[in-house]
Amino acid sequence: MAVQPLDTYIRAVRIELQSSGAAMRRLMPDYQESVRAEELSNLAIGEIGTIIRALASGLDKLGNAAHVHAFGEEGIRTYFPLTTVEGQFSKLLRSNLRGIAEVKPNVAAAFERCQPFHPEFEILALLRPLYRTHAHRGFELHEAIQSLTFEEIDENVTLQEDSVDARSWPGVTVDRTYYTLLGVVSGDLRATMRNDWHFAGTENSVMGTLLELHNVTVKVVGIILKSLEAPFSAVDLAKLSVRAVPAPAKPRSEAQTNGLL
């Protein structure tokens, strides 16, 4: 059997990232509406499954690409090694990508750099468990309790979009309001209202987790492909990433306008 060129495997990885990104963009408006309706639609749950399957598959196909790059052969079962325990990485690498460490130590080092035991890639620890949950019994979701937080800010500071991580996402109402003390306006606040879906039994926002997983996976692909001497360009990586779009701010009530939240 003729060995497929490395470009074939890289295209396969790109297709999975594009599939995840497209599903993410389709999910966003439906997800925001589902929060307001307090019911997550079957369509949204389907998109969540598409995202997780595509990311898991993309990483494993990246393992295929590494094997072909190192040995010039295909047909060997390979998986992307992922572990939260640093001391287990070498054993897992030998199991999932046999011989890589000996033949291509720079590639093995790239895989080591992208492990969940490094804070930058910690979110990847959730990918395999989420994939197994979806494959065996579907997702368990629950609505988080609505929360409101305040942060005192300088009146000259422009409100910035919230950072996205597994515990939150920017689909929240963010508004600037005044608070009063003894009838005197005494400060400027950022009021942030959150109402989100979380994976059951966790503090992980569904959308926040998926966004972070997707964008960190794009970063991993960039690092590994560079070690394979077949890097995506910075423009390619930017196009494959997904930008979080905050939900439109809700109309302010009279109480909010008067700083009586």
136 within some domain: yes
124 within some domain: yes
161 within some domain: no
How many domains are contained in the chain? Answer: 1
pLDDT tens, residue order, the chain (261 aa): 456 788 999 999 999 999 999 999 999 888 888 877 778 788 888 899 999 999 999 999 999 999 999 998 776 789 999 999 999 999 999 999 999 999 999 999 999 999 999 999 999 999 999 988 776 556 666 666 566 667 666 655 554 544 678 777 766 555 656 555 555 555 666 666 667 888 877 778 889 999 999 999 999 999 999 999 988 999 999 999 998 875 554 444 444 444 434
- Are 82 and 124 in contact by the 8 Å Cβ rule? The answer is yes
**CA–CA distance from 104 to each of 96, 170, 226 (Å)?**
14, 41, 13
pLDDT value, residue 231: 87
pLDDT value, residue 259: 43
24 within some domain: yes
Q: What is the pTM of this model?
A: 0.81
Domain extent, residue 117, equals 6-140+200-245
pLDDT value, residue 258: 44
Other CB atoms within 10 Å distance of the CB of residue 148: 12
Give the Cα separation of 115 and 137 in Å (integer). Answer: 27
251 within some domain: no
50 within some domain: yes
Give the Cα separation of 178 and 63 in Å (integer). Answer: 53
pLDDT value, residue 52: 94
155 within some domain: no
156 within some domain: no
